[in-house]
Structure 1
Amino acid sequence: MKFFLRTALLLLLPCLVYAQANYQPGFIVKTNGDTLRGVINYRENDNTPRIIEFKNSTSDRSVTQFGANDLKAFTINNTEVFISYRGKLSLNKNILTSLPSYVDTTNIQDTVFLKTLVKGVNVSLYSQSDAIKTRYFVAEKDNLPVELGYYPRMRETTVLPGALYKGQLMDLLKKYTSVTNTDDLLKDVTYDDQKLIGVVNIINHQQSQTLQKGKVYWRLFAGAAVSRVSTTVDGENFPFTGAPADVEYRPVLSVGFDLLKNPLIQHVFFRTELSFYTIKPSYSVPVVISGPDQMKVYTFRQTNISITPQLIYNVYDKPGLKFFIGAGARLNYSVYTDNKVTYTNVDPQLAVSYNKEKPYDLESFWFSFPVSAGVNIARRVEASFSYMQNTAFTTYTGFSIGSQMMNVGVKYFIKSR
């Protein structure tokens, strides 16, 4: 018990000590052309950053902030590229619940960062998101980006699309490709990352190698753990009430996958885990009948397969080292064998023992709610501690049988995409 508690405290302590940050390797290009390599604090946010925090190294205590007026561009992990843009930003709403009844062409002049979605030989595609909406921009070769126009509006109960961006894309298709059915090609192209990326890739005669907003990334893992399982009986109407808890140390095997919105950030992600373990509790109490003393022993073997959807949050995040906490709901499917009460004479020279088969109904399906904490090292190995409070797998009103679990284990990430 002390070992598990100490392990849990060691895993949780860094989570409480360090503030949330996510410094990733990258570089910045200043307006004068100077390039500085270091680490950039890249936070998970649906909005495009207006300010970035830069350090020369993860150990550097000095943090410098840069805005779009200060930089030409910055790159994170050689994967995500942002450029500085100075020009018009449209202000009309394009979300169905907020559409105006007129064509709103209001705009402002601003300097912001644009996220590179596609860097193409003919046309590049960028996005910029703020509290108003997400905007998309295209730039031909070395020309300045131009916003793709989208001005939907309401007329009574009908949405008028105002999809000017389709005309802009049609002009680019005609200029750089031999596509003739441009109307059919653009008919179902909506104003979002994946559809626009698809059209721009056709214009560039290429496949995109960039991270796509809205796309879900996944990684697979396999794991093993040692579990301390304490199975208890409780209730006034149960013959074995008072018997000490049965404590076993059992191996737990697991496989699963993580779904990540952005693999570079990983602050919050969804995990599904399939695990397997077995236990064989035993409870003994003495009985006295008209004859000699007897012992009655209740035993069962539970083989458990569980699936656990979890939400994981990295409370401390640096390149190569992450501390996380998590919580979820576990659906358990259990198969029971050797479910019996055995009556045995204390004096072995007297009559042999006899069994009563399946004296109690144990539930095949039952729910539990585990919590976890741990550390991820170099994105490949994870060490963790998890706890499941005592949870019954019986439905009797007068007594219950249930288990408490504490696991210490490791996981290895075997594939990602």
Structure 2
Amino acid sequence: MKFFSFLFVFSFLFVTSVFSQSNFKPGYYLTTQNDTIKGFINYREWDQNPKQVTFKPALNAPSQNITLYNANGFGVNRFEYYTKAIVKVSTSLESLSELPRDVDTTYRVDTAFLKIVVNGSKLIFYTYNTDIKPVYYVGNRSTGEITPLKRYMYLDENGTIKNLDIFRSQLMGMAMLNQPGNQKLQDKIANTKYDEYQLANIVALINGYPNTKKVVINNGATRFFAGTGVGFSTLKFSGDVAPFSNGASARSVTPIVSAGLDFLVNKQTERLIIRFEVTATAKHFSITEIPQENRSNSLDFKYLNLGFIPQLMYNIYSTDKLKVFLNAGLGFNLNTYNKYAYELNFRGDITRMNKFPEFEGFVFTVPIKAGMQINKHVQIYGGYSLPSAITSYSAWDASVATVSGGISYLFQ
């Protein structure tokens, strides 16, 4: 137990160093004179377009900050590319609780690093994830003009959500100029949603695919894993009228096997991971209450546990060779019990009550883990599953908590 406590404390201490972790990838930046300086960019998972990035001319060289004041753009080779621009940014709100009662065309003027998603011979498609919402732009390569694609959400007088989709007519105009007579493209635009992937696809079609460089939109990836471990489970009864009300408990040490699928939000940084895990274990508890007044009681039962656990994993420390992670999830568990019986011994007279207590066949659990990943394939972890009731009596309950440890192999 002390080992797992140490592991959790050790992992949480790494939180303070999260923002100092580096993930330098080959890249470049453009000076304000548009000169290209090659080197390495500290590539992060940017929820919003970055206002500055860290750059090194060489991996062993001192770092410097690349900002909107000293650069016209930057790129992480094969991953993401940004250019500086002064743009109009819609400030109309789109969350359901804050929708305006009429079309809100207000905007602010920002200087920002726009992300280049489609780099075409005629048109360029940009994205700008602001603190309010994502905003999309199309740049005209010949004129240099950058036009925001407009979409407004509002409530009419009946409180019904309405969309004013001006972006479709904007794209149709661009298509008529660059792809005249292409009715299929016009029809496709008429059904296009205000979505990064769909809009990027339309801009690529307007350019003509042979002359279009489509930058990676989704860096997501999947991987399978399988593992084994051991669980140290504790059964406790609580409540004054519980069968074992004097604090007696039972412990079970059992193997655990697991397998599942990971969804990596960004395979280049591997910071945030959505994990779906299936586990199987068999538990055996034998509990006897301390005899008092010529009376004792006992219970011996086994059950097979199959769990499905969606969870979030976050690497709080990340290098190519070592990662330290925390994760938490919600377990959906099916329990199958043997033919057990509760025995009450009073002065040698034994009473057996079959299937008492009545245990639940479906149980929720809340597991948390901490551990480390070594190189690309091995994860070692310690975990704790919070006490979860396996009975549903109103006056008392029996709960099981589990401390676990194990190792997993990542197939990637």
How far apart are residue 22 of structure 1 and its match? 5.1
Q: Hey, what's the Cα distance between the residues in 2 that align with 1:239 and 1:150?
A: 67
> Which AA in structure 2 matches 1:112?
A
Structure 2 match to 1:90: 88
The answer as to 2:368 corresponding to 1:368 is: no
TM-score normalised by length of structure 2: 0.78
1:11-410 correspondence to structure 2 within 5 Å: 11-15=11-15, 19=19, 21=21, 23-31=23-31, 33-40=35-42, 42-45=44-47, 47-55=48-56, 62-76=62-76, 78-85=78-85, 87=86, 89-96=87-94, 97-98=99-100, 101=103, 108=109, 111-120=111-120, 123-131=123-131, 133-139=133-139, 144=144, 146-150=146-150, 152=152, 157=157, 161=164, 163-164=166-167, 166-172=169-175, 175-176=178-179, 179-203=182-206, 204-205=208-209, 210-212=215-217, 218-242=222-246, 245-284=249-288, 297-341=298-342, 357-378=354-375, 380-410=377-407
Whether the 8 Å CA contact 2:39–2:55 is kept in 1: the answer is no
Change in CA separation of 1:257 and 1:153 when aligned onto 2, cut-off 3 Å: closer
How far apart are residue 18 of structure 1 and its match? 5.4
Whether the 8 Å CA contact 1:331–1:368 is kept in 2: the answer is yes
How far apart are residue 252 of structure 1 and its match? 1.5
Change in CA separation of 1:122 and 1:327 when aligned onto 2, cut-off 3 Å: same
Give CA-to-partner distance per residue, 1:192-247, whole Å, 9 cap, x none: 2022122123333379864437x975444333222111223445444545585333
299-308 or 20-29, larger mean C-alpha shift: 20-29
Q: Hey, what's the Cα distance between the residues in 2 that align with 1:196 and 1:216?
A: 19
Structure 1 gaps of 5+ residues are 348-352
Q: Hey, what's the Cα distance between the residues in 2 that align with 1:286 and 1:152?
A: 71
Q: Hey, what's the Cα distance between the residues in 2 that align with 1:178 and 1:410?
A: 60
181-190 or 353-362, larger mean C-alpha shift: 353-362
Q: Hey, what's the Cα distance between the residues in 2 that align with 1:180 and 1:268?
A: 42
How far apart are residue 9 of structure 1 and its match? 4.1
Structure 2 gaps of 5+ residues are none
Q: Hey, what's the Cα distance between the residues in 1 that align with 2:176 and 2:382?
A: 55
Change in CA separation of 1:304 and 1:103 when aligned onto 2, cut-off 3 Å: closer
Whether the 8 Å CA contact 2:258–2:280 is kept in 1: the answer is yes
Q: Percent identity?
A: 20
Give CA-to-partner distance per residue, 1:246-266, whole Å, 9 cap, x none: 333222222333445444445
Q: Hey, what's the Cα distance between the residues in 1 that align with 2:154 and 2:367?
A: 48
Secondary structure of the residue aligned to 2:360 is: coil
How far apart are residue 14 of structure 1 and its match? 3.3
Whether the 8 Å CA contact 2:175–2:186 is kept in 1: the answer is no
> Which AA in structure 1 matches 2:38?
L
Whether the 8 Å CA contact 1:94–1:150 is kept in 2: the answer is no
How far apart are residue 304 of structure 1 and its match? 0.9
TM-score normalised by length of structure 1: 0.78
Change in CA separation of 1:322 and 1:128 when aligned onto 2, cut-off 3 Å: same
Q: Hey, what's the Cα distance between the residues in 1 that align with 2:103 and 2:6?
A: 62
Q: Hey, what's the Cα distance between the residues in 1 that align with 2:177 and 2:226?
A: 50
Whether the 8 Å CA contact 1:50–1:68 is kept in 2: the answer is yes
Whether the 8 Å CA contact 2:391–2:397 is kept in 1: the answer is yes
Q: Hey, what's the Cα distance between the residues in 2 that align with 1:199 and 1:367?
A: 45
Secondary structure of the residue aligned to 1:42 is: coil
The alignment covers a number of residue pairs equal to: 401
How far apart are residue 337 of structure 1 and its match? 0.6
How far apart are residue 50 of structure 1 and its match? 1.6
Give CA-to-partner distance per residue, 1:80-121, whole Å, 9 cap, x none: 222333x4x1244454525865766x674x643121212346
How far apart are residue 42 of structure 1 and its match? 2.1
How far apart are residue 30 of structure 1 and its match? 3.0
Change in CA separation of 1:250 and 1:93 when aligned onto 2, cut-off 3 Å: same
Give CA-to-partner distance per residue, 1:22-46, whole Å, 9 cap, x none: 534232233253433224152432x
Structure 2 match to 1:350: none
Whether the 8 Å CA contact 1:237–1:399 is kept in 2: the answer is yes
Q: Hey, what's the Cα distance between the residues in 2 that align with 1:183 and 1:12?
A: 54
Q: Hey, what's the Cα distance between the residues in 2 that align with 1:201 and 1:148?
A: 17
> Which AA in structure 1 matches 2:88?
S
> Which AA in structure 2 matches 1:360?
P
> Which AA in structure 2 matches 1:226?
V
Secondary structure of the residue aligned to 1:119 is: strand
Change in CA separation of 1:381 and 1:192 when aligned onto 2, cut-off 3 Å: same
From 389, 408, 411, the equivalent of 2:408 is 411
